[in-house]
């Protein structure tokens, strides 16, 4: 079994390089076109996907619905697939954040996994709920599926599977809008198990 992870199509905030996070921005015209191109790819490859899972946020859900309709699959929302909560940084851009929040930003860059974004999440919290979503899917499915989510969600999952330090993200792991990447069931189960062990050790 393979789970294919795809990033949502483009939004106006992507174009303006504004930080989106939990802010619910819909696809723009180019994003809709990218979602249709993703759907075309699924059809052309004759991919037999049991279901399409998606984040509840508009940009992901709109992408997922277009893909699901193209292959005649059901579309299922999982809340844990939503984007990283970027708190007070949302609506701004990374250059401004680095300049105006230099001390907090430097601390975050040194320990992305456990340092919280102001009034937001850290990457460990994102990883925890992403793996919870993966567990739900693995418990439900035996055939290949598509998951439509967000840049940080897919990036942190791939980073963890690869055993990379979180501080090295994006490190070539960031997907383009509507780009798709496959992850094997064995990789995902190993990640879920390893994370559960790490969390138990942290609690001691």
CATH code of the domain containing 87: 3.40.50.1240
Query: Residue 31: which pLDDT band, with cuts at 50, 70 and 90?
Result: very high
Residue 118 pLDDT greater than 90, yes or no: yes
The pLDDT tens digits for 66-81 are 999 999 999 999 999 9
Sign of CA dihedral 7, 11, 16, 20: negative
Exposure string of 104-136, with b = 16+ CB inside 10 Å and e = fewer, is bbeebeeebbebbbeebbbbbbbbbbbbebbee
In Å, what is the CA distance from 65 to each residue of 7, 42, 45, 51, 91?
13, 13, 18, 11, 26
Nearest-angstrom CA–CA distance, 58 and 13 = 13
- Residues classed as catalytic: 8, 83
Look at residues 53, 45, 58 and name the one whose alpha carbon lies nearest to residue 13. 58
Query: Residue 101: which pLDDT band, with cuts at 50, 70 and 90?
Result: confident
Residue 204 pLDDT greater than 80, yes or no: no
Q: Which domain, by its residues, includes 146?
A: 2-203
The structural domain count of the chain equals: 1
Residue 191 pLDDT greater than 90, yes or no: yes
The pLDDT tens digits for 164-181 are 999 999 989 999 999 999
pTM over 0.85: yes
Average pLDDT over residues 72-92: 97
């Amino acid at each position: 079994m393979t789970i294919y992870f795809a990033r949502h199509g483009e939004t106006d905030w992507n174009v303006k390089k504004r930080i989106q996070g939990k802010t619910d921005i819909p696809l723009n015209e180019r994003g809709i076109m990218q979602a249709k191109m993703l759907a075309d790819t699924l059809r052309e490859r004759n991919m037999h996907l049991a279901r399409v899972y998606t984040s509840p946020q508009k940009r992901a859900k709109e992408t997922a619905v277009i893909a699901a309709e193209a292959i005649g699959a059901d579309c299922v929302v999982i809340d844990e697939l939503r984007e990283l909560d970027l708190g007070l940084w949302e609506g701004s851009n990374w250059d401004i954040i680095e300049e105006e929040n230099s001390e907090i930003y430097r601390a975050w860059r040194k320990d992305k996994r456990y340092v919280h974004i102001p009034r937001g999440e850290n990457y460990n919290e994102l990883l925890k709920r992403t793996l919870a979503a993966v567990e739900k899917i693995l418990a439900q499915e035996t055939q290949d599926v598509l998951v439509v989510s967000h840049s940080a969600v897919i990036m942190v999952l791939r980073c963890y599977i690869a055993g990379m330090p979180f501080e090295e993200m994006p490190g070539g792991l960031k997907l383009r809008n509507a780009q798709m990447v496959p992850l094997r069931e064995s990789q995902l189960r190993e990640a879920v198990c390893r994370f559960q062990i790490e969390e138990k050790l942290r609690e001691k």
